[in-house]
Amino acid sequence: MFPFLYDLRYQTINVHNLLHLPQAIRELGPLWTHSCFHFQDKNGYILKMIHGTQNVSSQIVTAVSFVQNLPQIVNSLDESNSAAFKFYQSLVGSLQGS
């Protein structure tokens, strides 16, 4: 009845989702048993990876790829004589000190 009571432009995906809410509750249990805080925390982490308004999706993919591959990259560094390894150590040291 929503489009008849209100203008069609107000019928968003949220209104549509309300149609599925009773079935979801029957299948998954009451809403108070679920939390999205874990995902909200990850949204903040991803937001910190974005620097600017251009090509946001590419920025996220690049940053996530870098974070996922960082352990492998660090393991491949020559510890004895590597400016890159020393730089990594300085970064880790500054993070641990904060």
pLDDT digits (tens, 9 = 90+) for 35-52: 777 777 778 878 888 888
Looking at the fold, whether 48 and 80 belong to one and the same domain comes out as yes
pLDDT score, position 61: 92
Q: How far is it, in rounded angstroms, from Cα 64 to Cα 46?
A: 8
Looking at the fold, whether 5 and 49 belong to one and the same domain comes out as no
Looking at the fold, whether 56 and 94 belong to one and the same domain comes out as yes
Looking at the fold, whether 78 and 65 belong to one and the same domain comes out as yes
Residues of the domain holding 25: 1-34
What integer best gives the mean pLDDT of the chain? Answer: 81
Looking at the fold, whether 68 and 87 belong to one and the same domain comes out as yes
Residue 35 — left, alpha, or beta (φ > 0 → left; ψ -120 to 50 → alpha)?
beta
Looking at the fold, whether 44 and 26 belong to one and the same domain comes out as no
Q: Say how many domains are in the chain.
A: 2
- 52 vs 8, residue with greater confidence: 52
**The pTM is what?**
0.45
Looking at the fold, whether 46 and 61 belong to one and the same domain comes out as yes
Q: For the stretch 63-90, what's the b/e string if a residue is b when 16 or more beta carbons lie within 10 angstroms of its beta carbon?
A: beeeeeeeeeeeeeeeeeeeeeeeebee
Looking at the fold, whether 55 and 79 belong to one and the same domain comes out as yes
Query: 1 in helix, strand or coil?
Result: coil
Looking at the fold, whether 76 and 43 belong to one and the same domain comes out as yes
Check pLDDT > 60 for residue 93: yes
Looking at the fold, whether 48 and 93 belong to one and the same domain comes out as yes
